[in-house]
Amino acid sequence: MQMKLYILLLALLVLSACKKDANKACGCSNSSSACTDLPLPPPPGKDDIYSQPNYFFDPSYVDYPYFNPNNDNEILYYARYAIPLQQQQLIKYNLATHQKQLLFTGQLLSRPKWGRNGWILLNVNSQIYKIREDGSNLTQLTFDSLGSNYNPEWNYTGDKFVVKHQYKKPGVKADTLMSFLLVYDEDGQPLDTLNAFAYPKCWQNQKGLLLVSEGSSPFSVWDIFNHSETVLHSLKGEDQNPFWSPDGNELYYTSKCGLSKINYASGKKNCLKTRCANESYNSICISSSSQKILCMKEHLKAPNWYNQYYSSKLVLMNLDGSNEKEINMY
């Protein structure tokens, strides 16, 4: 009996040590108290390799949160899976007064970006539009009949934006998909072309550094004025959702460890919030006052591999990952 008790205690100590070591490897000790760490059931056996899971999204699922760069009390969010899909909505919400305002109804291809000029960039039907922060003056900015534009990004002052441009180059056997980055002024007049194939991710920082990424490749930082590129080998494809601090010194992102940040100059990483198998942080945004992190927190419930249910909520926290609170918009 004593031997069994000893073995049980030893096993518990090992499991505890493993969990601590995992957090230590991520450089993180700030875990979510609500994290139940229920893993996704394993995929089916080799006889079912062609089967695909069914994905279900809660009608109240929200995404794409973004701070007003001129007012920390105002945010955007997108009701991505509203029913019917034609009723997907971009909503402005005031954190102090709890007032909502509908700005746009329709499907968006990438995250809306709120500029210091009072305009919000929208990616609709493979083209770029802007709309005023009060929901007025929806204006089309790009008109490429033979190409598509994605991931618009304002610069820090809001007098320029950049997009990823794609088009098909006719070939003998098959068309080749070509892509590069285009820089426009705030009215949609082309200014510059960058020979970069990745997607713009974040440009709103005082140093004017544009972060781009593509698939599993490392992140790259472009100095648009000098047409120079710096590859961040420490951040790879498994790292997602990057967002600059307003001063351009820190880069916040999500990783397999959770919510993290890296100092751009030193390369030093710091994990702010651990993640677990059934919860993850996405769509990070830093307030212009550098006081708060806003992000979407996604929850997965999967009774089996074939049926996966997703819900989400928006949360605020301090820059060190502490004091996480859900935003109750209902």
Could you tell me whether strands 160-169 and 176-185 are parallel, antiparallel, or unpaired per DSSP bridges? antiparallel
**Looking at residue 239, what is its pLDDT?**
84
pLDDT at 168: 82
**pLDDT attached to residue 76:** 97
DSSP three-state, residue 96: coil
CB 312, CB 327: distance < 8 Å? no
The 3-class SS string of 273-289 reads EECECCEEEEEEEECCC
Which among 247, 209, 241 is positioned nearest to 63, based on CA atoms? Answer: 241
Q: What pLDDT is attached to residue 39? A: 58
For residue 318 the two structure tokens come to: 């301090």
pLDDT at 302: 78
Domains of the chain by residue range: 108-204
pLDDT at 111: 94
State the chain's maximal CA–CA distance in angstroms: 80
Divide the 330 residues of the chain into consecutive groups of 10 and give the mean pLDDT of each group: 37 36 45 51 61 84 96 94 71 96 93 97 96 97 89 96 89 74 95 88 91 82 87 80 93 89 92 87 93 94 82 95 92
- Residue whose tokens read 């781009």: 212
The CA distance from 142 to 130, in Å, is: 10
Spatial CA neighbour of 108 closest among 120, 94, 93, 95: 120
